[in-house]
Each structure stands twice: as C-alpha cells, then as structure tokens.
Amino acid sequence: MNLSVEEFSFVSELVRAEAAIVLEQGKEYLVTSRLGPLAKREGFETLGALIATLRQNQFGPLREKVVDAMTTNETSFFRDITPFEVLKKTVLPDLIEKRRAEKKLALWCAASSSGQEPYSVAMLIKENFPELATWSLSFIATDYSKEMLAQAKNGVYNQAAVNRGLPAKYLVRYFEKHGTDWQVKQEIRSMIQYRELNLVKPFTGIGRVDIVFIRNVLIYFEPEIKRQIFGKVHGVLKSDGYLFLGGAETPLNLDDRFVRAAAGGTVLGGGCYSLKGEQK
Ligand SMILES: C[S@@+](CC[C@H](N)C(=O)[O-])C[C@H]1O[C@@H](n2cnc3c(N)ncnc32)[C@H](O)[C@@H]1O
C-alpha cells in the first residue's frame, strides 16, 4: 500500500519523539514493510486504518508497538570480530588486573537486540576467563524493543542465525538443540539480566559499569541526541572503563572526553574507547 505524505510524516515524527530514530524522506518503504504486518496482527484492515487510530490516541499501547516495529534489529554473533578480540586480548585482562582485590566487574550491553551480542560476550568470558566464575559479575543487556528483549531472553536461534559468526566450538559447548533451532544453555543465559531501556531517557538502574557496548544504534540518531547519550554514558562508565562503539560510530566532535583506547602506545581498534588520560 502507498502511504500519504501526512501518514509518513506522522509516523516518522512519532518514532523520532519516542526513540530518537530518524526516518528520512525516501524511507516510506520501511514504514509500509514493517507496519503492514503489524496492522494485520493487530486486526486492522489496512495500514491506513492503524495510522488513523494512532492519530486519534497517540499515547495508547499501539504507540510502543509501532515504534518497536520500526526499530532495525540487525545483529549477529561476534559481529565485526575485532571488538571481541580487543575485549579478550586487552580489555578484560586489564580490568581483571585492576579489579583483582574487589573481584567485581560490571558490563552493560546497551542495544542488545535479539541477544547475539551479549551472548557472544558471555561465551567469550566463560571460555577464556574461568577465574571470573568466582567474581561478582553484573551483566545487564537492554534494548527499546520488547519483542527483541523477549527473543534475547529465550536465547533461541535458527540455523541461519547460528551460522552467522558463531564458531563451531561455541555452538557445541554453549547451545542445545531446541526442535530444529538452537538454544543458548542456561549457564550462559543466567549470566545476563535483560531489561527495557530507551537510550533517550535517563539511564536508571545501570549503576557504574566497567564496560559499555553501545554498538550500531547511534547511527540512527541525530548529532544532538548522540551528544546527550555520550554524556550519559560518561556518567555511568568508571573512569578507567571501556566503551565499545560500532564501526561507523564515533564520539569525535561530539564528546572529546572519549578517546580511542590504546595499550603500550598502540591504538586498540575495534571501536574501543576509553576516557582521556586513562590510556595505558
Ligand atoms: C542494529 S541493532 C544493533 C544490535 C547490536 N548492538 C549489534 O551491534 O549487533 C540496533 C538496536 O538498537 C535498538 N534501539 C533503537 N533505538 C533505541 C533506543 N532509543 N533505545 C534503546 N534501544 C534502541 C533497536 O531496538 C535494535 O535492537
């Protein structure tokens, strides 16, 4: 179905107001392809009927479902691989050394989508840092999308999803068959607490963390929103902690308190940042 100019601008303003996601002109196809199926599921005859209902009552439960459906949830296990190598070779060994006395580490994955990213980190920890089993490890994973959070909590993935980026040895060790799909074993699922968190809102309940992953989500936001999010990340990240961004994301010209993380004079790469003056 075709969207009128008014319908498209209504949906894009709503999505921007609720979750800061920018839908530029030309993205009408995204609205029809994502909200068409939602309209059907919700019992509307047409997408136009869903939008008309939403216009009458913008703040009802349909609002969240529409915004949820408009989020882009593309993800995969060990996405881009380098951040996970940096985490394994430098970031975790450094933090383990620094926190050896208190034996506490806090991680936050701030746009966890269907869970592949936090599970990749959890498996990496289990596989390579057995000593952390006796530490107090807090690992929070959040997302705007209730639908993605439900999928992530379940930890069930089809064959195509486990074929994307997951090393075979991890599939064998940390997954079990679930019909024709695969489910992440309870020992890994129980390492992560999933919660709803809209990055546009205050970061309540996150506490102070050692590592933040906020990858491949800032790309959807305008510079002012990104700047505000960097400010809030700065507020929760410990002064010697690390921030991981997606490959197309940078704090450059937005928040100069974050700099590319380095060790022994070498930049780590993998979208890894630390706070100015804290490089090793
Ligand atoms: C493209 S996925 C990235 C997933 C994962 N971090 C990765 O790099 O593979 C972007 C995620 O950001 C979430 N998202 C979008 N806007 C958000 C917001 N305002 N607050 C929290 N999460 C949001 C979406 O629901 C989606 O799951």
What is the tens place of the pLDDT at every residue in 93-112? 999 999 999 999 999 999 99
Q: Which residues line ligand 1 (CB under 6 A)?
A: 19-21, 71-75, 79, 111, 113, 117, 143-145, 148, 198-200, 215-217, 220, 246
- Residues 62, 231: Cα–Cα separation, whole Å: 31
**Residue 268: closest CA among 245, 236, 248:** 245
Q: How confident is the model at residue 1 (pLDDT cuts 50, 70, 90)?
A: low
Domain residues of the chain, as ranges?
A: 5-70, 82-275
Predicted local distance difference test score (pLDDT) of residue 27 = 92
Q: Whose CA is nearest to atom 19 of ligand 1?
A: 19
Q: Does residue 210 contact residue 107 with C-beta atoms inside 8 Å?
A: yes
Q: Classify 224 as helix, strand or coil.
A: helix
Inform me whether the pLDDT recorded for 65 exceeds 70. yes
Q: Whose CA is nearest to atom 23 of ligand 1?
A: 144
Inform me whether the pLDDT recorded for 276 exceeds 70. yes
- Residues 225, 231: Cα–Cα separation, whole Å: 10
**Residue 280: closest CA among 76, 268, 271, 104:** 268
Tell me, in angstroms, the distance from the centre of ligand 1 to residue 174's CA.
24
Predicted local distance difference test score (pLDDT) of residue 2 = 81
Q: How confident is the model at residue 279 (pLDDT cuts 50, 70, 90)?
A: low
Q: Does residue 197 contact residue 229 with C-beta atoms inside 8 Å?
A: no
Inform me whether the pLDDT recorded for 161 exceeds 60. yes
Number of H helices, E strands in the chain: 12, 12
Q: Does residue 213 contact residue 109 with C-beta atoms inside 8 Å?
A: yes
- Quick one: tokens of 216? 């491949």
| Reported CATH class of domain 5-70 | mainly alpha
Answer whether CATH 3.40.50.150 is correct for domain 82-275.
yes
Tell me, in angstroms, the distance from the centre of ligand 1 to residue 109's CA.
10
Tell me, in angstroms, the distance from the centre of ligand 1 to residue 37's CA.
20
Ligand 1 atom, smallest distance to 148 CA: 27
**Mean pLDDT within 119-143:** 98
- Residues 247, 173: Cα–Cα separation, whole Å: 29
Q: Does residue 278 contact residue 240 with C-beta atoms inside 8 Å?
A: yes
C-alpha distances in angstroms, 96 versus 15, 47, 198? 40, 52, 30
Q: Whose CA is nearest to atom 17 of ligand 1?
A: 144
Cβ count near 17 (within 10 Å) = 13
- Quick one: tokens of 77? 């296990």
* Long-range Cβ contact pairs of 169-178 (< 8 A, separation 24 or more): 170/77, 170/123, 170/127, 173/123, 173/127, 174/119, 174/123, 174/126
Over the chain, what is the mean pLDDT? 96
